[in-house]
Amino acid sequence: EDTAIERLKERCLKHCMPGSLEDPKCVTHHKLIHAGSEKVLNDTKTVSEENIQDQDVLVLVKKRAPPSPPKMAEVSAEEKRKQEQKAPDKEAILKATTNLPSHSVDRSVAHHNMRDFQTELRKILVSLIEVAQKLLALNPDAVELFKKANAMLDEDDDDRVDEIALRQLTEMGFPESRAIKALRLSHMSVTQAMEWLIEHADDPTVDAPMPGHVPVESAAEEAGCAFPQAVNGASSAEELKDELTEIFKKIRRKREFRPDPRAVAALMEMGFDEKEVVDALRVNNNQQNAACEWLLGDRKPTPEDLDKGIDPASPLFQAILENPVVQLGLTNPKTLLAFEDMLENPLNSTQWMNDPETGPVMLQISRIFQTLNRT
């Protein structure tokens, strides 16, 4: 059992290839393989370390010779081929395209169309939230549905942290709770989170909970207080709907928009006051450059426009409501939470698009919008 694999290999060579050991390189040019596991045995380990048992079959194999180095002529040919495939420089491109007609693209129009799409999508979400709230309120299991929705919300808040980014910060020595707060404030940017942690290292309120983030225990107590009122105090379906609407507003407060602190500071340094900077970032999804253009332009859409829904009689909204996938999705509390989240945090849209429950609903809305937009 304490025999080294290298000694075992020498004995195999002596038995299978008499006289081969006269060449000192012969041992290194061969390897032993365990037939059962197809594992190459390590020369420096022993039989017991490689877990070789009685009656095991070992295969002696000559190692494949390494490829010979290329000749100088072959190297030159390879370099020549690479030079021929090299991308042309700016001068060569201009020379080759001198006689082509020029086509100017109005980039401002493309940007405007994208902004129109974002504005229209927001209006759709606002209106769909109203529909989803009414459907949930009319459901006989409305209270249970909301309990489920509230639990999803708390669970979702706990999970909305990039584990890789969090590990990077904790490995640097930052406390986990503080790192989570920094990542949420910086929209999961490790660099911005690290800068925030360094800047607020001596801040006495650095570990205070973020605005809008309610501890799970407090949320449960708040929900528990609200449910009896909804059941006992509501004498009709309309009153129940009003009670649930108030509770849904509490959900929305948990999803309040949080402006990027770095963008706020940068825009305020340009002379804009804090309120209009926050409005600009909210309208433009926390995008600093777009917010700057909004502040310097006509400032449309306005922050008030963000809370306006789409015309219920419009063909687009009717087509969305008639879609069976959307109809089924609107009865799911998780869909309501997704709509609420995307309203205040559009950067989270990708997460909801990839969710197995909310993704199909978002896909149908997108397809209907694109289809009617082309006609």
Name the residue with higher pLDDT: 69 or 37. Answer: 37
Within a domain: residue 166? Answer: no
**pLDDT of amino acid 57:** 92
Lowest mean pLDDT among 67-81, 193-207, 256-270: 67-81
Name the residue with higher pLDDT: 373 or 281. Answer: 281
**pLDDT of amino acid 118:** 67
**pLDDT of amino acid 112:** 45
- Per-residue confidence band for 72, with pLDDT thresholds at 50, 70 and 90: low
Tell me the one-letter amino acid at 16: C
pLDDT at 100 over 50: yes
* 3-state secondary structure string across the chain: CCCEHHHHHHHHHHHHCCCHHHCCHHHHCEEEEECCCCEECCCCCECCCCCCCCCCCEEEEECCCCCCCCCHHHHHHHHHHHHHHCCCCHHHHHHHCCCCCCCCCCHHHHHHHHHHHHHHHHHHHHHHHHHHHHHHHHCCCHHHHHHHHHHHHHHHHHHCCCHHHHHHHHHCCCCHHHHHHHHHHCCCCHHHHHHHHHHCCCCCCCCCCCCCCCCHHHHHHHHHHHHHHHHHCCCCHHHHHHHHHHHHHHHHHHCCCCCCHHHHHHHHCCCCCHHHHHHHHHHCCCCHHHHHHHHHCCCCCCHHHHHCCCCCCCHHHHHHHHCHHHHHHCCCHHHHHHHHHHHHCHHHHHHHHCCCCCHHHHHHHHHHHHHHHHC
CATH of the domain at 22: 3.10.20
Other beta carbons less than 10 A from residue 110's beta carbon: 10
Lowest mean pLDDT among 67-81, 92-106, 288-302, 337-351: 67-81
User: What's the mean per-residue pLDDT of the chain?
Assistant: 76
**pLDDT of amino acid 23:** 77
Q: What are phi and psi of 60, to 5 degrees?
A: -95, 120
Within a domain: residue 335? Answer: yes
**pLDDT of amino acid 70:** 63
The domain tally of the chain equals 2
- Mean pLDDT over residues 331-356, rounded? 79
**pLDDT of amino acid 218:** 46
> Which of 52-66, 167-181, 314-328 is predicted most confidently?
314-328
**pLDDT of amino acid 73:** 63
Within a domain: residue 27? Answer: yes
Of 62, 80, 100, the last residue of a domain is: 62
What are the beta bridge partners of residue 31? 61
Which one, of 356, 253, 372, lies nearest residue 322 by Cα? Answer: 372
Range of the domain at 49: 5-62
Tell me the one-letter amino acid at 311: D
**pLDDT of amino acid 225:** 46
- 191 burial (CB, 10 Å; 0-12 / 13-18 / 19+) is exposed
Within a domain: residue 222? Answer: no
**pLDDT of amino acid 247:** 59
Within a domain: residue 201? Answer: no
Which one, of 159, 139, 131, 81, lies nearest residue 352 by Cα? Answer: 159
How much is the pTM?
A: 0.44
Within a domain: residue 122? Answer: yes
Within a domain: residue 355? Answer: yes
**pLDDT of amino acid 360:** 92
Q: Is beta strand 39-40 parallel, antiparallel or unpaired with respect to 58-62?
A: unpaired
**Per residue in 214-259, pLDDT tens?**
443 444 444 444 444 444 444 455 555 555 556 565 555 555 677 8
Lowest mean pLDDT among 253-262, 272-281, 285-294: 253-262
Within a domain: residue 128? Answer: yes
**Per residue in 26-54, pLDDT tens?**
888 888 899 888 889 888 889 888 888 88
**Per residue in 129-148, pLDDT tens?**
888 878 877 776 666 666 66
CA distances from 132 to 142, 220, 221, 259 (A): 11, 22, 24, 27
